[in-house]
Amino acid sequence: MKRTVTHLADGRELIYFDERDDASRDAVDQRDLPPPPPASEMRYDPVLNEWVTIAAHRQTRTFLPPSDQCPLCPSTPQWQSEIPSAEYDVVVFENRFPSFSHRVVPSQGDLLPGLVPTRPAAGRCEVVCFTSDHNASFASLSPGRVRTVVEMWADRTADLNTRDDIEQVFCFENRGEEIGVTLHHPHGQIYAYPFVTPRTRRMLQSARSHSGGNLFADLLAAERADGTRVVALNEHWTAFVPATARWPFEIHLYPHRQVPDIPALSGAERDAFGPLYLEVLRRLDGMFGLPMPYISAWHQAPARVDRDLAYLHLQLFSTRRAPGKLKYLAGSESGMGVFVNDVRPEQAAEMLRGVQL
């Protein structure tokens, strides 16, 4: 894999990950762009013990443009996009409308002194383009391309984890307008947070309190032994619907070896991930014969704390519970954080296994 670093017209970094060593990346961004926005603002919620980010500039971000004006497609003589080259394999670039950024300006002071500390939202947000094909999807990628994507995730996680202003790296993909996607081109994102996220803190606290072995390893072993909710597996990975699934169709993918993050995966584990993940995505799309909206979220260890407790895994879930019906986070889920699932996890696993590929 060839890695080439360049910059866009406004100074944002762009990185090509090419599958050919002879790939030429000399194209220059010719656009006249304003400077990137300064970092957003973080406000600490003392009631819930977590940070909230205020990123008002994101109100003006690109929203469902026509395909001939897609900012993630390769540039053409008629349209200059975020990627200057006429073609590419995998590309990562700094988000033009970031929630977190290293372009920090001095804070104006705490909003409510003694109660609500206020800080610049330092960190980084990156956009990941999986392919130059606008009409593709992650499920349509080849195993070789998925391997390139895994290498990119490992590269970005390792790099971002070394930065002083970053405490956790989150790689994810949103797919479908039902999820809130504003660009149809197949892409994901990477958020590098200046704090350990509430979800991860809670998970690690549970792992710390668990008696016996590692909590995540014990759950994986129990699901594999039970087998009822296992959807697919190979030598290095198992995909299963968790017994406590919150979403109608939710699948977790675990490597069989405890590792803290994507960079820690071996070459064999990286090779084995793609075929299994592609099978799971195609089973998900085959459920109702139409593309399933989903969120695909990597749970990685924080950069500096509790790495021995963490267990890398991927959480994949869809908001669709039936054809034409979505799962909404209504009163109980949004107001109290108490999920009520409409589909039994055992039934979901059986339905996924029954999809003819």
Active site residues: 187
Which pair of structure tokens corresponds to residue 219? 């759950």
Q: What amino acid occupies position 184? A: H
Strand order in the sheet with 118-120: 50-54, 41-45, 118-120
The alpha carbons of the chain give a radius of gyration, in whole angstroms, of 21
Alpha-carbon span 104 to 255, nearest angstrom: 37
Alpha-carbon span 167 to 165, nearest angstrom: 7
Which residues have C-beta within 8 Å of that of residue 352, sequence separation ≥ 6? 231, 241, 249, 251, 280, 283, 284, 287
* C-alpha of 3 from chain center: 21
Which pair of structure tokens corresponds to residue 295? 């969120």
Nearest to 26 by CA among 7, 48, 12: 7
Which residues have C-beta within 8 Å of that of residue 79, sequence separation ≥ 6? 68, 69, 73
Taking a C-beta distance cutoff of 8 angstroms, is the pair 18, 2 a contact? yes
SS3 content of the chain, % helix, strand, coil (to 5): 25, 25, 50
Task: Please work out, in degrees rounded to the nearest 5, the angle formed at the alpha carbon of residue 251 by the alpha carbons of 246 and 255.
Answer: 130
Taking a C-beta distance cutoff of 8 angstroms, is the pair 184, 300 a contact? no
Alpha-carbon span 173 to 149, nearest angstrom: 12
Strand-pair partners of 116: 112
Taking a C-beta distance cutoff of 8 angstroms, is the pair 278, 141 a contact? yes
Taking a C-beta distance cutoff of 8 angstroms, is the pair 183, 189 a contact? no
Which pair of structure tokens corresponds to residue 217? 């390893």
